[in-house]
Structure 1
Amino acid sequence: MPLTDEQLLVRMNEHMSPTSLLLGARLVQLDSKLGHVRMAFDAKQEFCNPMGNVQGGFVAAMLDEAASIAAFAHAQKRIGLPTLEFKVTFLSPARPGILYAEGRLLKFGNRTAFLEADLLDHEDRHLARMSATAMQIPMGTPTLVDRP
């Protein structure tokens, strides 16, 4: 029996990935049917470049986490979801502090998932957008690097 969105939100926050923990992530909202999530990230000063802006790799990681978690929430089962490709468009500099990422599942196919995410600051200014394609791997199935 599928979990309610409230149960899923609690469970997913209790079992964040090491990457999410590093990024100071917290899942604040989700709609599993639509495959939509909203996450808060603590963009630390240590994430910044010499200009004082959050370095683009951290921005991309936040977007990738939000998009992937949207797919996990929709799937409601343990799957691997390695990113095959993604594109990030940086619209405005991200500054340290709490940032929000809204991840969306666009299509959940048999083998691939098409994802999108936006990064916003505390005033809802649009900072970046990512589109991505990921491959679904049932948990327990060896990955390509694990196969002989």
Structure 2
Amino acid sequence: MSETHATIRSGAPVFPPGRYGRRREPGRRRPVLAGLLALALAAVLGLVTVRLYQQYGDPEYDATVITYTGITDTQVLVDFRVTVPPGGSAVCVLRARDRAGAEVAREQVTVTARPGERHVTTQHRLATSGRAFIGEVLRCRPPT
């Protein structure tokens, strides 16, 4: 025999008493705690963003490889152009890789612009431990 309760809306499921355990009461919401956690997360993400931008994203120090030539078993000549603040200098990391992608040379080069100039075009010879396939500029940053 089934029970019909007068207080239950039509269409709502009726569970036999004791069969499925006690129904939970709706939990109390804590909007202040959720807001504080969201604010703390936003602050941490903001700090990480600023730190990564300072480390990798300075647009004043931009390098472009023009060409790499003079490839032998012991060297590669890398021509590159660096954008720096007017009259400033930069420390650039150059590397050469072989055909398989292994690094065969890495060197730091300091370039300095003439007073009032923002661009420095230079050529640097990288001494390699094997035959290079490509010469590249990994990054440029302010001198420390």
Q: Same fold (TM over 0.5)?
A: no
Find the structure with the greater CA-based Rg. Answer: 2
TM-score (ref. length: structure 1): 0.33
TM-score (ref. length: structure 2): 0.33
Greater share of residues in helix: 1
